[in-house]
């Protein structure tokens, strides 16, 4: 039986608020590549199927965001010049996260 004060346990591989708060400010949470497609992360109708590089980065105040650009760019370039991901579906596909961690996503 659960009480209102218990914290629901999250499956492994899911970003939690506790993990987010324990990370160093401005650190990389996760990074990878994915196809620019409806099945991947569809950022533009141009160049469908071309690889995108994405970088999830913790902010300075326990917030976080994901940036994306073409895969031929470096992680640093993507963090500085990439487009921010705003779609809840894409955010959760790239970085599965708890409701509380998602609520701290910088919009």
Provide the β-strand partners of residue 31.
55
- 9 in any annotated domain: no
The lowest-confidence range among 17-21, 40-44, 50-54 is 40-44
Domain that holds residue 70: 17-103
- 60 in any annotated domain: yes
Instruction: List the 28-35 sheet strands across, edge first.
Output: 28-35, 51-58, 64-70, 83-84
- 10 in any annotated domain: no
- 72 in any annotated domain: yes
- 5 in any annotated domain: no
- 3 in any annotated domain: no
- 91 in any annotated domain: yes
- pTM metric for this prediction: 0.86
- 99 in any annotated domain: yes
Residue 89: partners with Cβ closer than 8 Å, 6 or more residues away: none
In this predicted structure, what is the pLDDT of residue 48? 80
In this predicted structure, the answer to whether residue 18 has a pLDDT above a threshold of 60 is: yes
In this predicted structure, what is the pLDDT of residue 12? 60
In this predicted structure, the answer to whether residue 49 has a pLDDT above a threshold of 50 is: yes
Residue 5: partners with Cβ closer than 8 Å, 6 or more residues away: none
What's the sign of the alpha-carbon dihedral 86, 90, 91, 97?
A: positive
Instruction: Name residue, tokens 């499956």.
Output: 11
Domain count, the chain: 1
In this predicted structure, the answer to whether residue 3 has a pLDDT above a threshold of 50 is: no
Confidence class of residue 8 from pLDDT cuts 50, 70 and 90? Answer: very low
């Amino acid at each position: 039986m659960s009480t209102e004060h218990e914290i629901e346990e999250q499956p492994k591989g899911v970003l939690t608020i506790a993990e987010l708060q324990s990370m160093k400010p401005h650190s990389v949470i996760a990074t990878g590549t994915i196809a620019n497609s409806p099945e991947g992360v569809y950022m533009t109708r141009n160049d469908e199927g071309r690889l995108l590089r994405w970088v999830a980065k913790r902010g300075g105040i326990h917030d976080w965001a994901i940036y994306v650009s073409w895969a031929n760019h470096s992680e640093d370039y993507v963090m500085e010049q990439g487009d921010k991901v705003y779609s809840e579906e894409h955010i959760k596909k790239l970085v599965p996260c708890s409701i509380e961690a998602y609520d701290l996503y910088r919009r």
